[in-house]
Amino acid sequence: MHAAPAGESSGARPRSPAPARSGTQSDRRTERVLGALAAGVLGLIALMTITVFAKAWPSFSHNGLTGWFQSGGDVDQQLREMLTSGTQGGHPTYHLRAWPLLWGTILTTGLAVLIGIVFSTFAAIFIVEFAPAPVRRVIEPIVRLLGGVPSVVYGLIGILAIAPWVNHHLLSESRKSSVEYLVQLAGSNLSTATLILTVMITPIMVAIVSSSLAAVPGPWTEGSAALGVNRWRTIWRISLRTARPAIIAAAVLATARALGEAIMLSMVSGGRGFAANPIDGITFLFEPVRPLAATIVQNSEALSAPSLGRTLYAMAAVLMVSAALLSLAGWAAKQPLKRYGIRA
Amino acid sequence: MPPPVRRIAIDRPPRVLPPSANGAGATAAGSPNPRRRLARPPVSDVIERMRIESVSLAYGARWVVREVTLPVRRGEVLALIGASGSGKTTLLRSLNRLTEITAGATRAGRITLDGEEIERLEVNELRRRVTMVFQQPNPFPMSIFENVAYALREENHGIGLGRARRRRSRRELEPDVVDALVRAGLYDEVAADLDHPALRLSGGQQQRLCIARALAARPEVLLLDEPCSALDPLSTATIEELIVGLRESVAIVIVTHNLQQAQRVADHVAFMHLGELVEYGSSEQVFDNPRRERTREYVSGAFG
Amino acid sequence: MATRATPLTAPGGAPLAGRPRDSIAAWPLADRLGYLTCWAAGIALCLVTAAIVLFMLVKGISYLRPSLLVQSPQGSLDQSKAGGFLDPIVGTLLLTALGTALAAPVGVALAAWLSEYARPAWLARTVESGVEMIAGVPSVVLAIFGLLVFSQGFLSFLSQTSAGGSVFGKSFFAAGGMMSLLALPLIVSSTREALAQIPAHVREASYALGKTRATTIWRVLLPSVRPNIASGVTLGMGRIIGDTAIVVVLLGATLQTEGAGGAPLLSTLRGTGSTLTSYVYTNSPTGEGNAPQKAYAAAFVLLMLVVGLNAIVTRLSNGPRATNAERSPLRRGLRAVRTPWTR
Q: What is the pLDDT of residue C14?
A: 39
Q: What is the ipTM of this complex?
A: 0.81
**A294-306 mean pLDDT:** 79
A176 against A139, higher pLDDT: A139
The answer to whether the Cβ–Cβ distance between A227 and B138 falls below 8 Å is: no
Cα dihedral value C11, C17, C20, C24, nearest 10: -170
Q: What is the pLDDT of residue B219?
A: 93
Searching chain C, which residue's CA lies closest to the CA of residue B56? C10
Could you give the 3-state DSSP secondary structure of residue A129? Answer: helix
C222 against A6, higher pLDDT: C222
pLDDT tier, A3 (very low <50, low <70, confident <90, very high otherwise) = very low
Q: What is the pLDDT of residue A137?
A: 85
Query: How far apart, in whole angstroms, are the C-alpha atoms of residue C297 and residue C64?
Result: 5
Q: Is 60 exceeded by the pLDDT of residue A112?
A: yes
Q: For residue range C98-122, what is the model confidence (pLDDT) as tens digits? A: 999 999 999 999 999 998 888 888 8
Q: Is 90 exceeded by the pLDDT of residue A125?
A: yes
Q: Is 80 exceeded by the pLDDT of residue B18?
A: no
Q: For residue range C197-219, what is the model confidence (pLDDT) as tens digits? A: 889 898 899 889 988 888 888 88
Q: Is 90 exceeded by the pLDDT of residue A47?
A: no
Distance, in angstroms, between B152 CA and closest chain C CA?
16
**A58-67 mean pLDDT:** 77
Distance, in angstroms, between B252 CA and closest chain A CA?
15
Q: Is 80 exceeded by the pLDDT of residue C35?
A: yes
pLDDT above 70 covers a percentage of chain A that reads 89
Distance, in angstroms, between A138 CA and closest chain B CA?
22
CB atoms within 10 A of CB B251: 26
pLDDT above 90 covers a percentage of chain C that reads 17
Q: Is 70 exceeded by the pLDDT of residue B157?
A: no
Q: For residue range A225-284, what is the model confidence (pLDDT) as tens digits? A: 999 888 899 999 999 999 998 899 899 889 988 988 888 888 888 777 777 777 777 777
Closest of A102, A55, B79, A293 to residue C143, by C-alpha:
A293
The answer to whether the Cβ–Cβ distance between A227 and B126 falls below 8 Å is: no
Q: What is the pLDDT of residue C331?
A: 37
Q: For residue range B240-268, what is the model confidence (pLDDT) as tens digits? A: 999 998 988 999 999 998 899 999 999 99
Cβ atoms of B185 and B208 within 8 Å: the answer is yes
Most A CBs within 10 Å, among B97, B99, B147, B150, to test the A interface = B150
Element (H, E) at A144: helix A133-148
Cβ atoms of A305 and A82 within 8 Å: the answer is yes
Q: Which residues of B touch A221 (CB under 8 A)?
A: none
CA angle (A77 as vertex; A72, A80 as ends), nearest 5: 135
B27 against C80, higher pLDDT: C80
Q: What is the pLDDT of residue C45?
A: 93
Query: How far apart, in whole angstroms, are the C-alpha atoms of residue B139 and residue A158?
Result: 49
Q: Is the pTM of this model over 0.90?
A: no
Q: What is the pLDDT of residue A238?
A: 93
Cβ atoms of C333 and C202 within 8 Å: the answer is yes
Q: What is the pLDDT of residue A325?
A: 86
Closest of A154, A153, A121, A108 to residue A284, by C-alpha:
A108
Chains with ≥3 CB–CB distances under 8 Å to B:
A, C
Could you give the 3-state DSSP secondary structure of residue C338? Answer: coil
Question: How many Å is the Cα radius of gyration of chain A?
Answer: 28
**C262-286 mean pLDDT:** 81
